[in-house]
Structure 1
Amino acid sequence: MDNTRSHDIAWLPGDGIGPEVTREALRVLDAVASAHGFSVTATEHRIGGAALDETGRPFPTSTREACLESDAVLLGAVGGPKWNDNTGEQRPEHGLLTLRKALGVYANLRPVRVPEARAGASPLRPDRVGGTDILFVRELTGGIYFGTPEGRTDDGARSTMVYSEAEIERIAHVAFQRAQRRDGHVTSVDKANVLEVSELWREVVPRIREEHYPDLELRHLYVDNAAMQVVRDPRQFDVVLTGNLFGDILSDLAAALPGSLGLLPSASVGGAVGLFEPVHGSAPDIAGQDVANPTAAILSAALLLDAVGETAAADAIRHGVDAALDAGFRTADLAASDEETVSTSTLGREVATHAADPAPKNAPTP
């Protein structure tokens, strides 16, 4: 096959299970690339603890340059007990924050799906969570995590929540544009009954809808009610739009719905180059044992392909994941007590096999 389309990926395996799960993501990427007529070139670079050990910095200049020159970045995970005593810019996690800033990404996308066939793995009742398909759109660069002034005072501490109209406008556009590709419904989450910042949020978001997306539905929920609704009836949500702090908490809460963090991908977009990574951490306790669930990393690769325009191949990956799991392939985090488990690499190979077949046209698209 004459592969006329090519995509260069900066591969940052990171620490812990990061190398294992992203290796399987690359295996699946190669499989769908071959089947869909394009090529993928992945070049490995250091970040996090691995970079600290090799270069003394968690985000070396060489890694930064490679990421900015790539079409997309695939990240595993950073951190581990080996570096727990590191502080400030010597923490592995500082490398991740610096990476996001270098790429200029401001929108974090976290899809959470619970297909009916796998609803039994959820800690909640299957009839309550089966069919869930939510996309969380979290603003990533503003809010209380980055507002100034902040810091310690003589008798306390202060963190300030700050958002500009421009920051709210651009993240609202991302949410509405994603809703156009899905069921056309956006739920905007805030705390406008208490916070001045949320009052501004509730003014700006409806204006963006009225001016640019009048055919889409929009409702508002206070964050405390939204948290209850995510657990009580997650199927009511399509796209959830919210700020940095609330998005962090709500998307982590929703991560419990499918029963394992090993199933959940994420994408950070909006800058020159997108960043794609599983939601889970480095899980050092199981690193190197070939038992980690690679599904989240594989689905992150599907989001990567969406971002570079290879939507058919992205849908093929999602089809491959569903097919492999529906066929009974389970890593230890997914298996019931009476089910056999498979290794990281076995599940990766099985997904790659299914993903190389044509994906159905109705494959779910975040």
Structure 2
Amino acid sequence: MTDAGNTGSGHGPRIGVLTGDGIGQEIVPGVVQVVDAAFEGVGTTGPDWAWLPFGREALDEHGDAVPAGTIAALEDLDMWILGPHDSASYPPERRGDLTPGGRIRKHFDLYANIRPARALPGVRAVSPRMDLVVVRENTEGFYADRNMAVGSGEFMPTPDVALAVGVFTRRAAERIAESAFALAEQRRRRVTVVHKTNVLRLTTGLFRDVCAEVGERHPDVEVTYEHVDALTAKLVRSGETFDVIVAENMFGDILSDLAGELSGSLGMAASINASAEKVMAQAAHGAAPDIAGRNRANPTALMLSAAAMLDHAAATGGPGHFARVADRVRGAVEHTVASGVATADIGGQASTSEFVETVAAHALRGV
């Protein structure tokens, strides 16, 4: 990761912004405000934000939800914030397309979907001591939009038969395992490898075995193995005992949603999509069109995603102060929620704008 746009001459880093649809129009500017405050709070020049066309507005104006100019601009950036998109509401002829976020993820080979799940003080959680990270392989597995060079991985040879292709490769398993073990070395040094080898012996067996090989290169990290179905029960019963969970695509998607809800709310679940060179902050939730424009949306997930993005940038060659900025953002969110300022979805009465203003004030002052 290079520090794009920050040459040491007093200029802040260049960070892309793709506002998206629905509540993205409210929460993304709020996240930018909070990140700006955190940069100011640590005494460094704030980002040079690159606002790029994306989503329904881009579709209406440019004929494409992800215009070629947006992709070209992202080529020159190391990190960006992606707002939620509501492709289900796009014109019928576009609804079968790969989602706008998926197109960006696939174009830049953002193979690591990293989803922390940590219970925050002041938020009622099923697992109030949970603090784990799901590291999800993001490019193959059983997902039809990710496992073919051309076309869909789902097909119907007859109207009454539907088939799906699952793709598992050594290369993909090895690089996601390396991401998981590197993260564990920064945390509590425990990795849980998820598989289903009693049924999917070859596919998830390859994933498990490659993760085990990578684990041998990290002898200071404890490795355990869990069948995915057994792990779901253990997350509910004793979620606080897990540290880093590494999983193939579909298992990781399901487990991270479960962990997000157990730790408080899926609406607060942070997420980044990363490669060795680039990182995209994207909350796990969607565009919530039912509350869009009503100043009710919870921006916490995207705020925490932005913090995770900055942490990832710092850990992969970016400036060290990125990590301090990330800590400010997280601390400001946690202090705000613990003080009782919260949006309606987590039991509070604050509007989106009131929540943003409170978090930004804490990020500026430090807590």
TM-score when normalising by structure 1:
0.89
Question: Is 1:305 paired with 2:307?
Answer: no
Q: Say if 2:137 is the partner of 1:139.
A: yes
Q: Distance in 1 between matches of 2:66 and 2:87?
A: 16
Aligned to 1:114: 119
In structure 1, the partner of 2:30 is 24
**Partners of 2:111 and 2:87 in 1: how far apart?**
26
Q: Partner residue of 1:34?
A: 40
User: Alpha-carbon deviation of 1:159?
Assistant: 0.9
Give the drift of 1:330: 1.1
Q: Which deviates further from its counterpart, 164-173 or 51-60?
A: 51-60
Equivalent-residue separation in structure 1 for 2:285 and 2:115 (angstroms): 12
Secondary structure in 2 matching 1:227: helix
**Which secondary structure state, in structure 1, belongs to the residue aligned with residue 240 of structure 2?**
helix
Q: Which runs of 5+ in 2 are unaligned?
A: 1-7, 315-321
CA 1:51–1:11: 2 relative to 1, 3 Å: same
1:254: how far off? Answer: 1.6
SS at structure 1 position matched to 2:290: helix
Gaps of 5+ in 1: 360-366
Is the Cα–Cα contact under 8 Å of residues 279 and 309 in structure 2 kept in the other structure? yes
Q: CA deviation at 1:59?
A: 1.0
Equivalences for residues 175-254 of structure 1 within 5 A: 175-195=180-200, 196-210=202-216, 212-254=217-259
Q: Which amino acid aligns with 1:259?
A: G
**Residue type of the alignment partner of 2:353:** S
- Deviation per residue, 1:253-300 (Å, 9 max, x gap): 222113322211100011532111111100011111111011111111
Which SS does the other structure have where 2:211 is aligned? helix
1:26-73 CA distance string (max 9 Å, x none) = 001111111221320112112222221111112110111111112311
Task: Tell me the residue number matched to 1:362.
Answer: none
Q: Deviations over 1:117-168 (max 9, x none)?
A: 335x23x3xxxx1111010000000111134564111241211212111111
The one-character-per-residue Cα deviations of 1:66-117 (angstroms, maximum 9, x if unpaired) are 111123110110016632634456x5x62211111122210000001113x3
Q: Does 1:70 align with 2:70?
A: no
Q: 1:324 aligns with which of 330, 336, 340?
A: 336
Distance 1:74 1:27, change over 3 A: same
Identity of aligned residues (%): 35
CA distance in 2, matches of 1:349, 1:134: 28
Counterpart residue type for residue 214 of structure 2: I
Taking structure 1 as reference, are residues 12 and 200 closer, same or farther at Cα in structure 2, changes over 3 Å only?
same
Greater shift in the superposed pair: 238-247 or 298-307: 298-307
Q: Are 1:342 and 2:350 counterparts?
A: yes
Alignment CA distance shift 1:58-1:295 (3 Å): same
Question: How many correspondences in the alignment?
Answer: 344
- The alignment's C-alpha RMSD in Å is 1.8
Match of 1:45 in 2: 52
**8 Å contact kept, 1:103–1:271:** no
